[in-house]
Amino acid sequence: MLTDYIRAAMHHATYELLADGEGFWGEIAGLTGVWANAPTLEACRDELEEVLQDWIVIRLSQGLSLPAVDGIDLNIQERKAV
């Protein structure tokens, strides 16, 4: 499930070539703080995925919610007592 979330989120990534050959900028809309820049597009993708993984771990460890991505929801749902 975690791998599916990461893959889905990465499919929403957008990249931009920075001016003056300064490399690439990448971000994932809706995931505040998930961005990266690097000299090459491939390095930017790799960095963005690493940032995304760290972002997920930090949010979960602090009890913060994660937005659902393509219907994948990593938030722990409380079960109702029967």
Mean confidence (pLDDT) of the chain: 93
Q: pTM value?
A: 0.88
Tokens 């961005």 correspond to what residue? 35
Element (H, E) at 26: strand 24-28
Cα distance between residue 68 and residue 82, in whole Å = 27
| Domains of the chain, residue spans | 2-61
At 17-45, the pLDDT tens digits run 999 889 999 999 999 999 999 999 999 99
DSSP state of 40: S
Is the pLDDT confidence value at 79 over 90?
A: no
Q: What is the pLDDT of residue 21?
A: 86
What integer is the mean pLDDT of 47-67?
A: 95
Domain 2-61 class in CATH: alpha beta
- Cβ neighbors of 47 (< 8 A, separation 6 or more) are 26, 36, 37, 38
Pairing of the two strands 35-38 and 13-17: unpaired
